[in-house]
Structure 1
Amino acid sequence: MNTKERISIVLASDNHYAILIAALVKSIELNHKTDEAIDFYIIDDRISTRNKEKIEASVQSKDIAIHWLNAEQVVPSTIKFPIDNTAFPLTAYFRVFSPYVVPANLERIIYLDVDMIVLEDISKLWNIDMGANIFGAVQDFQKVVSCSWGGIPNYKELGMSADTKYFNSGLLLINAKAWREADITNKVFKCLHDNLQYINFADQYGLNVALVNQWFELDPRWNWFATFENKNPFIIHYLDIKPIFKSYKSDPYFQTVFFNYLKLTPWKNYKPISGNYRLVRKIYNKVKKIVLRSLKAEK
């Protein structure tokens, strides 16, 4: 790839986790050593003006641009979100629209969950050759679709073999052009609606079902889960309790890494808060879905 091109990175968040974006973009800025400029396309699910300003102030490089995209404008009116039984916020489904929030001429994007810290030059991920695959991802720690506590609960009914590999959707290296041409977003949402009762990890369920065996497997260090030790991860993924909470229970070293980057942002004096805040959010998400299901049933 041409090293003069711009790297396109898509993020999505609500206001609650805006603080995580600041640490993430700072880590990408400081560890990017080659000469590509970087565009961040942030799907904004009601992030406050103040928090947007703090995120923008976290970046000093003139070669980094931040583009804000209103979540309500990102989702086509024809798309209906699956109201599942999980505590995941509806924001989790926005990643499926990533190829549509960037300029149509862009052929490659990186999607990152905001609960990540990048320790390697992002250009190395950007330049990975995926061959003819539509996207690349890292195998989840659930490993296979038959995982007894996760995976794809109805994998047998869907005709999947028990050892089919299962990926984590927190990091996706996407051939955006191929994704759009194959109409992947609509296929994923159809899958979600067709299997509503089996959804366990929001969009990750739909992506793994709709795109079974159609992904390029990346080095696991590109999406290293903070629950496991590693002296040389490329990207740390805090997929359990986030490091901003006192109840954080993953590798303590990785929490230190997070705060080392956060201290370089306008949130530099931030201290971990009670984990009760996190639990209240989960309850809110579940109640919101119950209400939405009730309203749908009344129509």
Structure 2
Amino acid sequence: MKKNNISIVVASDNHYAILIGALLKSIELNHKTEEHIDFHIIDDGISSKTRAKLETIVDPKRITLKWFKSREIIPDSIVVPIDNSAYPWTVYLRVFSPYIVDADVEKLIYLDVDTIVQDDISKLWHLPLGDHTIAAVQDVGLNVACEWGGISNYKELGLSADTKYFNSGILVINTKKWLQEDVSSEVISVLTKYKEHVRLPDQYGLNVVMANKWLELDPKWNWFAFKENDNPFIVHFLDIKPIFTSYNSKQVYKDEFFRYLSMTPWKNFKPISGNRRVIRKVYNKISNILKRSFLRQ
């Protein structure tokens, strides 16, 4: 690891690992500067076959893939609370991303795997954080008072209704400050203490801990795929992913996703039934409970 390398972190289970394929290729094709990229993958059950495919996608002289088992990155002192939502376990793993990069890494970019990068990632990397611990893009819910997301107990926490609320899918993190402030423990503590108010698990915790303390990025760095834009920097498939036949966001972004995917071992992939997505959500609800029950055994 060289200190000036660009550090990127993602997390995935095997079900959504195909998305990493398109993401990796989009990063490689649009990265024009000389910095080497260290691409960290938090592996929550990715098969050896899928891993082998991912290893073939990029030029190792430009991008190095680094693998980490999900069960090994959470400090022993932290216990992730039981969650009965349909969100996959992987949504929590971003909270621990600063623990996996090398000690000399002062910054990282966390990307949800349901994204594609349409501009040079080095531009995001070189944006100054100043004294902020994280930088992010305002969420589609806009503020903490959002009824379907947000922070339902914002008044109890002393926040005003117009306090901006960010999307946790793309984060630029000052790793030194994050670790010094013990942000991971703070987020988990919030999720445990205010469990009845949690709707979007990690995003709720991060927004409570970082309320009014995060740097707002240009929305193009986390452009939601259901909105039109001629030149988004990163496209985020917030809703139904393009690998499903029930995809319902802008067609142009789905086309871009498959353009990148066609340059990977998944070039002949065809969208799968949306019914499998529903089944997966049911599986996630059951799996989340079981994982938390056995994680510390």
Give the shorter-chain TM-score range: over 0.9
CA-CA distance at 1:34 after TM superposition = 0.5
Q: Is the contact made by 2:9 and 2:108 (CA closer than 8 Å) also made in structure 1?
A: yes
The Cα offsets for residues 195-231 of structure 1, whole Å up to 9 and x where unpaired, read as: 1111101100000001111100000000000011111
Partner of 2:23: 24
Pairing of 1:273-284 with structure 2 (within 5 A): 273-284=272-283
Letter of the 1:111 counterpart: Y
Partner of 1:36: 35
Q: Is the contact made by 2:186 and 2:209 (CA closer than 8 Å) also made in structure 1?
A: yes
When residues 163 and 255 of structure 1 are mapped into structure 2, their CA distance, relative to the original with a 3 A threshold, is: same
1:175 aligns with 2:174: yes
Partner of 1:198: 197
Letter of the 1:265 counterpart: T
Partner of 2:249: 250
Structure 1 residue runs of 4 or more that deviate by more than 4 Å after TM superposition: 289-293
CA distance in 2, matches of 1:135, 1:81: 21
Partner of 2:146: 147
Q: Is the contact made by 2:3 and 2:105 (CA closer than 8 Å) also made in structure 1?
A: no
SS in 1 for 2:41: strand
Number of aligned positions between the proteins = 293
Q: Is the contact made by 2:109 and 2:172 (CA closer than 8 Å) also made in structure 1?
A: yes
Letter of the 1:250 counterpart: S
CA distance in 2, matches of 1:26, 1:67: 16
SS in 1 for 2:276: helix
Pairing of 1:10-89 with structure 2 (within 5 A): 10-89=9-88
SS in 1 for 2:15: helix
Q: Is the contact made by 1:247 and 1:274 (CA closer than 8 Å) also made in structure 2?
A: yes
Query: Normalising by structure 2, what TM-score?
Result: 0.95
SS in 2 for 1:185: helix
Q: Is the contact made by 1:7 and 1:109 (CA closer than 8 Å) also made in structure 2?
A: yes
When residues 208 and 231 of structure 1 are mapped into structure 2, their CA distance, relative to the original with a 3 A threshold, is: same
Flag structure 2 segments of 5+ consecutive residues without an equivalent.
none
Pairing of 1:160-171 with structure 2 (within 5 A): 160-171=159-170
CA distance in 2, matches of 1:122, 1:292: 34
Partner of 1:236: 235
SS in 2 for 1:229: coil
CA distance in 1, matches of 2:190, 2:147: 21
SS in 2 for 1:209: helix
RMSD over aligned Cα atoms: 1.6
SS in 1 for 2:39: strand
Q: Is the contact made by 1:81 and 1:90 (CA closer than 8 Å) also made in structure 2?
A: no
CA-CA distance at 1:74 after TM superposition = 0.7
Query: Normalising by structure 1, what TM-score?
Result: 0.95
Letter of the 1:84 counterpart: D
CA distance in 2, matches of 1:65, 1:292: 30
CA distance in 1, matches of 2:290, 2:198: 18
Identity score, percent: 57
CA distance in 2, matches of 1:72, 1:98: 13
CA distance in 1, matches of 2:185, 2:32: 37
Q: Is the contact made by 1:139 and 1:167 (CA closer than 8 Å) also made in structure 2?
A: yes
When residues 129 and 53 of structure 1 are mapped into structure 2, their CA distance, relative to the original with a 3 A threshold, is: same
The Cα offsets for residues 132-183 of structure 1, whole Å up to 9 and x where unpaired, read as: 1011000001000001221111111111100000000000001111110111
CA-CA distance at 1:291 after TM superposition = 5.7
Q: Is the contact made by 1:84 and 1:199 (CA closer than 8 Å) also made in structure 2?
A: no
When residues 174 and 291 of structure 1 are mapped into structure 2, their CA distance, relative to the original with a 3 A threshold, is: closer
Q: Is the contact made by 2:23 and 2:115 (CA closer than 8 Å) also made in structure 1?
A: yes
